[in-house]
Amino acid sequence: EDISSSSNGPKAEPMLLDHDPDDLFAEATEEVSLDSPERQMILSDGPSPAITPVTINPRADVFDRSPDQDEDEEENRDTFDIQISVSDPEKVGDGMNAYMAYKVTTKTSLSIFSRDEVCVKRRFSDFLGLHSKLASKYMHIGYIVPPAPEKSIVGQRLGRRSSAVTELDPDAKACLCCRYLLRTVKQPALLKDPDVLQFLESSELPRAVSTQALSGAGILRMVNKAADAVNKMTIKMNESDAWFEEKQQQFENLDVQLRKLHASVESLVFHRKELSVNTASFAKSAAMLGNSEDHTALSRALSQLAEVEEKIDQLHQDQACADFYLISELLGDYVRLITAVKGVFDQRMKTWAKCQDAQVMLQRKREAEAKLQHANKPDKLQQAKDEIREWEGKVQQGERDFEQISKNIRREVGRFEKDRVKDFRVVIIKYLESLVHTQQQLIKYWEAFLPEAKAIA
């Protein structure tokens, strides 16, 4: 079975990685996900996971997104017309090597795709592999790469210092993967990326190179991540641009707020499931009461009462689905996205640090050359001059990189903020639609029951 949350293996998401894209995430037979260093710090105080298996069956129409509805003037795209769905989770193989395969369907009129409609089969690790490739290609130049779909969500319960792990069932995972792909293709740069195209179109995808969870390479990666985290903490950047400082602070605040909200919604979902169970239990007891009742009309009314309560139980379950799929998952997505955003800011800092290091080096080389001038060693002098030129080039490159990443981040953050508002608005409308639907059903049930109650005696 799955590895419990108390033994998190290495993370599948190389957030701060500069490595060779083929050296991929850890993939045991059962896929696990590690949290990023930031998360690790939040979770480190004595987690005692309360496993609340949420088995929610999503209605097909509750979550049905396509990103094409809104025009993004700034992006200079013409009709952005692409629909993606991830469905039909299917178990493939058996025993230790079994895995879930998902059907990924892409419908589009865009010319970069070779066909109007493509259908491929992908497994969960394929999604993680795609993310890994994209992250290593784009993160260091300031693109916010949508975070990989995680197998389990870790939320923090309000008021409790333990973290609750919610295992996703295959349908929920399918939704998660779908949202991941949609966010990815919404990024114009990523849409054109050959890895993305290959993922969506080609029938055979090379298996991501797998390494065992706690292999030597895995441990090495963990160490590198730790080193990165330490480096991040010791980089004191001279921020010349107030915008970046403000934005970083905003994202810190947003991160805290979103996690709190996510925990709140999890509580809501939990209690709604509880309500469903209690309603069903009450329905049964009412039915038994109706069966034992001698008075015919009263007996009938009590049986009807039981039926109404059963139907209401179903409504509670559906509403819990809406709570979960619409709000909880949205918040979860954004918590993960913020991590990606923070990662990009970190990349900028690293780029700056690199540039600084190059300048320091250049300075040293100049000093060395100056010394050699006096020492009169012509051959070494030439080498010194060469090195100076080399490092001047590096400094220039570093400055260009820094400018580029700063520009990219500004644009990305702007896009992120617009999308954020749009995403939330879409969810609010869908949620309201579910609320209205529930009430209308309730009205029907009560209106049907009323004459039964009046008909007693």
Partner 1 sequence: MTEGSSAEAELSVRVSSIRITDVTQDGDVLTFAIASQKLNSSAGVCVFRTYEDFDWLQQSLFSQENLPGLHGIIFPPLPSKALPSQSNTQTKALKQLGFLALGQAWQSYSKALEFYLQQVATHPTLCKCNALDSFLINSESPGRQRGRKGIFNRLSQAVEEMRKESHKDVDNFFQNERIKNTNLAALSKVATEKLLDVVMTEQKLALACGHFSTSLHLCVNQDDAAAVAFSKVCLKLSDIIEAVKRNFEKAGSSNLSTLGLGLDLESRYQEAEKEMLFRRTCKLIELETVKKSTEKAKANKREVMEAFQKAVEKEFSLISSVAKQEIERFHSSRVNVLKNFLIGWCEQQLNTAKEFAELYSQHLEACRNMYTE
What's the length of the chain? 457
**250 vs 397, beta carbon nearer partner 1:** 250
Q: Distance (Å, rounded) from C-alpha 19 to C-alpha 21?
A: 6
**Nearest to 313, CA basis, from 445, 171, 427, 434:** 445
Among 285, 382, 383, 397, binds partner 1 (CB under 8 A): 285
- Token pair of 169, please? 């069932």
Q: Could you say whether residue 114 binds partner 1 (CB under 8 A)? A: no
**92 vs 435, beta carbon nearer partner 1:** 435
- Token pair of 236, please? 């004191």
**85 vs 434, beta carbon nearer partner 1:** 434
Q: 71-101 in b/e burial notation, b at 16+ Cβ within 10 A?
A: eeeeeeeeebebbbbbeebeeeeeeeeeeeb
Among 48, 281, 396, 404, binds partner 1 (CB under 8 A): 281
Instruction: Compose the 116-155 pattern: x for residues touching partner 1 by CB under 8 A, - for all others.
Output: ----------------------------------------
Q: Distance (Å, rounded) from C-alpha 197 to C-alpha 301?
A: 60
Q: Could you say whether residue 91 binds partner 1 (CB under 8 A)? A: no
Q: Could you say whether residue 226 binds partner 1 (CB under 8 A)? A: no
Q: Distance (Å, rounded) from C-alpha 423 to C-alpha 440?
A: 26
Q: Minimum Å distance from CB 301 to partner 1? A: 6
Q: Could you say whether residue 240 binds partner 1 (CB under 8 A)? A: no
374 neighbors 366 (Cβ within 8 angstroms): no
389 neighbors 365 (Cβ within 8 angstroms): no
Among 57, 257, 314, 397, binds partner 1 (CB under 8 A): 257
Q: Could you say whether residue 417 binds partner 1 (CB under 8 A)? A: yes
**12 vs 153, beta carbon nearer partner 1:** 153
Q: Could you say whether residue 65 binds partner 1 (CB under 8 A)? A: no
- Token pair of 353, please? 């640090």
Q: Could you say whether residue 393 binds partner 1 (CB under 8 A)? A: no
Q: Distance (Å, rounded) from C-alpha 261 to C-alpha 355?
A: 39
Q: Could you say whether residue 442 binds partner 1 (CB under 8 A)? A: yes
Instruction: Compose the 156-195 pattern: x for residues touching partner 1 by CB under 8 A, - for all others.
Output: --x-------------------------------------
Q: 259-270 in b/e burial notation, b at 16+ Cβ within 10 A?
A: bebbbbbbebbb
**90 vs 252, beta carbon nearer partner 1:** 252
Q: Which stretch binds partner 1 (CB under 8 A): 44-52, 173-181, 200-208, 418-426?
A: 418-426
Instruction: Compose the 289-318 pattern: x for residues touching partner 1 by CB under 8 A, - for all others.
Output: x--xxxx-xx--x---x-------------
DSSP 8-state symbol, 118: E
Dmax (CA) of the chain: 119
- Token pair of 345, please? 């800011």
Q: Minimum Å distance from CB 124 to partner 1? A: 30
**240 vs 440, beta carbon nearer partner 1:** 440
**Nearest to 245, CA basis, from 400, 336, 146, 349:** 349
- Which amino acid is present at 239? E
DSSP 8-state symbol, 327: I
Among 101, 110, 197, 261, binds partner 1 (CB under 8 A): 261
Q: Which stretch binds partner 1 (CB under 8 A): 89-97, 133-141, 263-271, 401-409?
A: 263-271
Q: Minimum Å distance from CB 158 to partner 1? A: 7
Q: Minimum Å distance from CB 230 to partner 1? A: 31
Q: Minimum Å distance from CB 53 to partner 1? A: 19
- Token pair of 455, please? 């008909």
**230 vs 277, beta carbon nearer partner 1:** 277
Q: Could you say whether residue 371 binds partner 1 (CB under 8 A)? A: no
Q: Distance (Å, rounded) from C-alpha 149 to C-alpha 9?
A: 16
**Nearest to 310, CA basis, from 289, 281, 290:** 281
**Nearest to 329, CA basis, from 195, 182, 442, 440:** 182
321 neighbors 56 (Cβ within 8 angstroms): yes
**119 vs 254, beta carbon nearer partner 1:** 254
- Cα–Cα distances in Å, from 148 out to 74, 195, 260, 323? 26, 15, 21, 22
Binding site for partner 1 (CB under 8 A): 158, 246, 250, 253-254, 257, 260-261, 264-265, 267-268, 271-272, 274-275, 278-279, 281-282, 284-286, 288-289, 292-295, 297-298, 301, 305, 414, 417-418, 420-421, 424-425, 428-429, 431-433, 435-436, 439-440, 442-443, 446-447, 449-450, 453-454, 456-457
